[in-house]
Structure 1
Amino acid sequence: MTVAGRVEGKIALVTGGAMGLGKADCERLAAEGATVYVTDIDLAGAEAVAKAIGGVAMKHDVRSSEQWQAVADRIAADHGRLDILVNNAGNVIFESIENCSLDNFRLHMAIHVEGTFLGCQVCLPLLKKSKSAAIINMASTASLMGYGTIVAYTAAKGAIRSMTKSIAMHCQDEGYPIRVNVLMPGGIETPMVRDISGRAGQQLMEIPDGILPKESLGAPRDVANAVLFLASDEARFLTGVEIPVDNGLFARPSR
């Protein structure tokens, strides 16, 4: 007997899918039956992921409305609808309010905020054609806490949190079959986290199974599992929700 996956037959789009959290999201959704469009500014990386999971790769700068439209047009031509949108693409530059350049601040806003805005806006017509669609936007626990060295990043992720709720309520008010939620990962062992923590070029750490101690980094699959849940019809009663995926980081009182 064949057991259907949790997102069997659904059409998914994951931005920033070439590595890290995006790659894990693509792999998890595909393993559970979705057809996944893997988009990234790094086309070679996206193609490698797509080949491994039987998906479709496209070069995609999320700052470009034209490139967003090209992605949407391709999905429309192939399937006529979109069921899952994961706005995952992002960047981080460590700068405080005193040394953050306006150009770098605007870069964070363009990639995170404008990229997420464009994704939701451009893909909405395709999502409306789904019987049960889900948008999952990626923020960060940094949007909930005070980190003095990433002022632009925290500002961008905070904007995504607020925007997600507005989009969720609009879709619900209009009667669209679309749920919109936001995830807020904490420290996850990805190439980006490895590099900014002074371990550039080293092998990624193996994150063990089971309950993790409070100081531990999480694995990309921990976020991907949350993406899968929100993308599935199991989460039909969740919209406008923000979920920390952080092993209790935000809940823990500061020392």
Structure 2
Amino acid sequence: MFNIEGTVAIVTGAVDSIGRDIVNSLLSNNAKGVALLDANDAQAEEFQASLDKEFGAKKTLFLKVDVTDFEKVKDAFKKCVDHFGNLDIVVNNADIIGNIEMVIKINLLATIQISNFAFFDFLPKYRKGKEGVIINIASVVGLYPSHMLPDYSAAKQGVVAYTQALGVNGRYENAPVKVMALCPGVIDTEIFVGVPEYYQQFMRELDFICQPPGVVGKGLIKVLKEGSTGSIWVSKKNEPAIEFKYKSKTFPILRKLVS
């Protein structure tokens, strides 16, 4: 079981509602520090002040970073290690709905670039314990194609596939860094404000069971403690996160096709 106490994490999209809950969950489980990466600094000072009050000063480091600017991301990783001394957990949470190009750049491309950088360059060198962890926040539409948000669904399916590919056991045996994904159901956030009008009709027809952002933080802690590398987890209907096991169905098909 992964021990969160004394670890340092980087969380992207850390100032939005889901990001805030992830940060709070990590600190509540005795993480030593969390670097908050976000392009929006409007509420960062207020958020850090609330964290200082609850968990004590110097537990967080805010870095204004656009995750599509990879040079700035690499610089943020270096500043995190310089500030806290180690790095053990990377959570890719930055997320957007709306402009198709930005959906792919932020939700998929940035997740891949940041995970690669964490996996190959930083976590093996700067982790405190025996293993590092990368958790990619995907979505249930990364498992079940959504007619409502086809571009968003495609990006999240890419995140799921990438997580499984990077997180194979063979890689873990050579470099002890676990790579996992958490796929929440619909979360009650402001992200849907950005949904294009031509998708709004589909949203109005569906009876969503919206979950509070808090389910993601709880799910993330469960995945950290219980998840194995390459595993995909689902959090829906306000229930505890469960592992989504479909490898047994997909892998035999792949083997048959390539044999």
User: If the length of structure 1 is used for normalisation, what is the TM-score?
Assistant: 0.77
Q: Give 2:252's aligned residue.
A: none
The DSSP-based 3-state class of the residue aligned with 1:224 is helix
Q: Is the 8 A contact 1:37 1:50 kept in 2?
A: no
Determine the C-alpha separation between the residues in 2 that align with 1:158 and 1:120.
16
C-alpha spacing 1:162/1:38, structure 2 compared with 1 (3 Å): same
Say which of 214, 224, 231 aligns to 1:241: 231
Deviations 1:124-183 (A, max 9, x none): 322113122111101111122232231110110010000011111277355222111001
Q: Please report the RMSD computed on the Cα atoms of aligned residues, expressed in angstroms.
A: 2.6
% of aligned pairs identical? 25
Q: Is the 8 A contact 1:37 1:58 kept in 2?
A: yes
Say which of 12, 17, 27 aligns to 2:14: 17
Say which of 214, 217, 222 aligns to 2:210: 217
Say which of 63, 67, 73 aligns to 2:78: 73
Shift of residue 230 of structure 1?
Answer: 2.3
Deviations 1:80-119 (A, max 9, x none): 43111110001012xxxxxxxxxx3222110011111121
Letter in 2 for 1:26: V
Q: Give 1:84's aligned residue.
A: 89
Q: Is the 8 A contact 1:136 1:180 kept in 2?
A: yes
Q: Is the 8 A contact 1:38 1:57 kept in 2?
A: yes
Determine the C-alpha separation between the residues in 2 that align with 1:8 and 1:171.
27
User: If the length of structure 2 is used for normalisation, what is the TM-score?
Assistant: 0.76
C-alpha spacing 1:171/1:89, structure 2 compared with 1 (3 Å): farther
- Consecutive unaligned residues of structure 2, counting only runs of 5 or more, are 53-59, 198-206, 245-259
More helix by share: 2
Q: Give 1:139's aligned residue.
A: 138
C-alpha spacing 1:69/1:224, structure 2 compared with 1 (3 Å): same
Q: Is the 8 A contact 2:100 2:151 kept in 1?
A: yes
